[in-house]
Amino acid sequence: MSGFTISSLHEKLQNKEITATKASEDYFSKIKKTDPENKVYLTLNEEEALNQAFLVDEKIKKGEKIERLEGIPSSVKDVLSTKNLRTTAASQALSNFIPPYDATAVKNLRASGAILLGKTNCDEFAMGGSGENSAFGLAPNPLDPERVPGGSSSGSASAIASDLCVFSLGSDTGGSVRLPASFCGIVGMKPTYGRISRYGLIAMASSLDQIGVMAKNVEDVTDVLSAIAGPDPKDSTSSGFTGKDFRRDFDLGGKGLTLAYDKKSIEMSDPQIKKTSLDFLAKWKKEGGRLKELTIPYLGEEAVACYYIITASEVSANMARYDGIRYGKVPKKVLEETHSWHQFISSLRGELLGKEVKRRIIMGTFCLSSGYYDAYYGKAQKVRAYIQKSLDETFKSADLIFTPTSPDLPFKIGERINDPVRMYLADAFTTIANLAGIPAISFPIGETQIEGKTLSIGGQLMAKQWDEETLLRGAKFGEEIIHA
Ligand code: GLN
């Protein structure tokens, strides 16, 4: 992977081999050269970023020590509110929205001294698995421009993989940090539900949404997590645990760590993914880790069905606020042609919301309607509780669970956009972590050559709730054995 990691840039800054201003300026000029149509970044934050960098440089000049994230150029998915900086959720409905406040995670990021270069593209309101649902075009997959970067945090993954920032914050409701990380060959982690405050995160499905971290390696992800995690009075679901030292168990390595794997997830994957996953498990064992085979109930299609019923239901409620009165622009046509409140709202939503968002509003409203509630939403909640319970059981005799991140290699642009069910199945292995609220991470476990291009294959680890230390320890070990 080209360009700086947090550690390599931190060292250069501290040793005065480069200034924070120069590093940021270099990133901006690269962004402007390689992303002139704003497909990766929807909005840049140049003036403020350079001011931030100046302050870091002053500190270094005075001979002061800087913290790990100080002066490091980063980006934030455009579903996180940024004070005075346009936040669109990649939707026409918010194309002119300038939040008056920062999301808590962004506030914490700024407090850590990281430089915010800009806002990255994504699927509209984070709904999607390819990046193609953005109202503002598709960020490329740097490994193969004919393929999707994965979604919904498409711009964040694309930016990191093409070195247009050092790390990024994404959001993960059913896999949106892990899937694009896997498709673009980087690391993406979704922590335990409640670990990072959701205040200021534009809501998709509130009981599943979590902010996640994307970077070039596990160590970088860990450092960013430490900076943004912690309780927040503004989010009643945020945990009371204060930010911890998530690097705590790095030195323990993987010896003795029990990794449980579900054979079905490997069998049903693309043959290259299957082979790479089996090789990974063999290396895990060879290097001193333990293995255990198990069956995760409902993993695959059933978990996807459960996830999409719950998600659509919550989406239909969360989307109600986009009525053109509170936020966003109102097209002239809507103002001129509508004569009642109802007409205004339906015409506005018809004009401004994309196809996938509308599909979920309709699906969710249906699932929640009386007469169908028990058959769909009620049943999905029972399946969710069962998945949670069986994962709790699994973690009594295993430290971690492994699956491929996705059963599929990055698919071609346009291949699935008109077949939503096929698109949803890319999430076959990621949704259970959100349904159970447990932490999960995707990191590269191998590569494969297709049509002259080298694609990356991601492996996923999951740990029990609040056990990010073991998750990150396992991922660090996994990363080491792959590179050994
Ligand atoms: N692909 C999933 C969906 O479309 C995940 C989205 C997400 O995690 N934000 O719902």
What band does 328 get if pLDDT is binned at 50, 70 and 90?
confident
DSSP, collapsed to helix, strand or coil, labels residue 130 as coil
Beta bridge partners of 292: 260
Q: Which stretch of DSSP H or E encloses residue 272? A: helix 271-286
**Ligand 1 in contact with 254 (CB < 6 A)?**
no
Ligand 1 atom closest to the CA of 179, numbered from 1: 1
**Ligand 1 in contact with 427 (CB < 6 A)?**
yes
Catalytic annotation present for 29:
no
Q: d(Cα 403, Cα 400) in Å, to the nearest integer?
A: 10
**Ligand 1 in contact with 152 (CB < 6 A)?**
yes
| Residue 27, in any domain of the structure | yes
Concatenate the DSSP letters of all residues of 423-443 into one string.
HHGGGTTTHHHHHHT--EEEE
pLDDT at residue 242 greater than cutoff 80: no
| Residue 323, in any domain of the structure | no
Instruction: Please say whether the beta carbons of 186 and 157 come within 8 A.
Output: yes
| Overall average pLDDT of the 436-458 stretch | 98
Mean pLDDT of the chain: 96
Catalytic residue among 24, 130, 152, 158: 152
Quote the ligand 1 centre to 128 CA distance (angstroms).
5
Quote the ligand 1 centre to 55 CA distance (angstroms).
37
Please enumerate in sequence order all residues whose Cβ is within 8 A of that of 388, keeping only pairs 6 or more positions apart, or say none.
435, 436, 437
pLDDT at residue 56 greater than cutoff 60: yes
Ligand 1 atom closest to the CA of 175, numbered from 1: 8
| Residue 306, in any domain of the structure | no
pLDDT at residue 483 greater than cutoff 90: no
| Residue 213, in any domain of the structure | yes
What band does 65 get if pLDDT is binned at 50, 70 and 90?
very high
Half-sphere exposure at residue 71, Cβ-oriented, CA atoms within 13 angstroms: 29
Q: Which domain holds residue 99?
A: 6-228
Residue with tokens 């992303």: 35
What band does 244 get if pLDDT is binned at 50, 70 and 90?
low
Catalytic annotation present for 176:
yes
Pairing of strands 41-44, 115-120: antiparallel
Ligand 1 atom closest to the CA of 308, numbered from 1: 10
Q: What pLDDT, on a 0 to 100 scale, did the predictor assign at position 447?
A: 97
| Residue 57, in any domain of the structure | yes
What band does 324 get if pLDDT is binned at 50, 70 and 90?
confident
**Ligand 1 in contact with 173 (CB < 6 A)?**
yes
Residue nearest to atom 1 of ligand 1 (CA): 129
Cα dihedral angle (236, 308, 151, 110), rounded to 10 degrees?
0
Between 335 and 149, the more confident residue is: 149
Query: What six digits make up the tokens of 324?
Result: 């053109």
Where does 268-378 have alpha helices with state H?
271-286, 301-318, 332-337, 341-352, 355-368
Q: What is the pLDDT of residues 175-222, one digit of tens each?
A: 999 999 999 999 999 999 999 999 999 999 999 999 999 999 999 999
Between 341 and 399, the more confident residue is: 399
Query: What six digits make up the tokens of 245?
Result: 């030292």
Quote the ligand 1 centre to 152 CA distance (angstroms).
6
Where does 162-239 have alpha helices with state H?
178-184, 218-228
Q: Which of 97-106, 156-165, 291-300 has the lowest mean pLDDT?
A: 291-300
pLDDT at residue 80 greater than cutoff 60: yes
DSSP, collapsed to helix, strand or coil, labels residue 167 as strand
Catalytic annotation present for 2:
no
Q: What pTM was estimated for this model as a whole?
A: 0.97
Instruction: Please say whether the beta carbons of 199 and 235 come within 8 A.
Output: yes
**Ligand 1 in contact with 194 (CB < 6 A)?**
no
Q: What pLDDT, on a 0 to 100 scale, did the predictor assign at position 297?
A: 87
What band does 243 get if pLDDT is binned at 50, 70 and 90?
low
What band does 417 get if pLDDT is binned at 50, 70 and 90?
very high
| Residue 252, in any domain of the structure | no
**Ligand 1 in contact with 129 (CB < 6 A)?**
yes
Q: What pLDDT, on a 0 to 100 scale, did the predictor assign at position 2?
A: 73
| Residue 307, in any domain of the structure | no
Q: d(Cα 106, Cα 211) in Å, to the nearest integer?
A: 10
pLDDT at residue 292 greater than cutoff 70: yes
Query: What six digits make up the tokens of 130?
Result: 């390819």
- CATH number, position 18: 3.90.1300.10
| Residue 44, in any domain of the structure | yes
Q: Which of 249-263, 299-313, 324-338 has the lowest mean pLDDT?
A: 324-338
Instruction: Please say whether the beta carbons of 190 and 156 come within 8 A.
Output: no
**Ligand 1 in contact with 126 (CB < 6 A)?**
yes
| Overall average pLDDT of the 122-145 stretch | 98
Instruction: Please say whether the beta carbons of 23 and 71 come within 8 A.
Output: yes
Catalytic residue among 39, 59, 75, 77: 77
pLDDT at residue 339 greater than cutoff 70: yes
Residue nearest to atom 4 of ligand 1 (CA): 128
Ligand 1 atom closest to the CA of 173, numbered from 1: 8
Residues belonging to the chain: 484
Give the number of domains in the chain.
Answer: 1
Q: d(Cα 122, Cα 133) in Å, to the nearest integer?
A: 8
Ligand 1 atom closest to the CA of 208, numbered from 1: 8
Q: What pLDDT, on a 0 to 100 scale, did the predictor assign at position 325?
A: 84
pLDDT at residue 280 greater than cutoff 80: yes
**Ligand 1 in contact with 304 (CB < 6 A)?**
no
| Overall average pLDDT of the 344-352 stretch | 93
Best residue among 77, 122, 123 to mutate for probing ligand 1's pocket (most ligand atoms within 8 Å of CB) is 123
Query: What six digits make up the tokens of 149?
Result: 């970067």
Q: What pLDDT, on a 0 to 100 scale, did the predictor assign at position 283?
A: 97
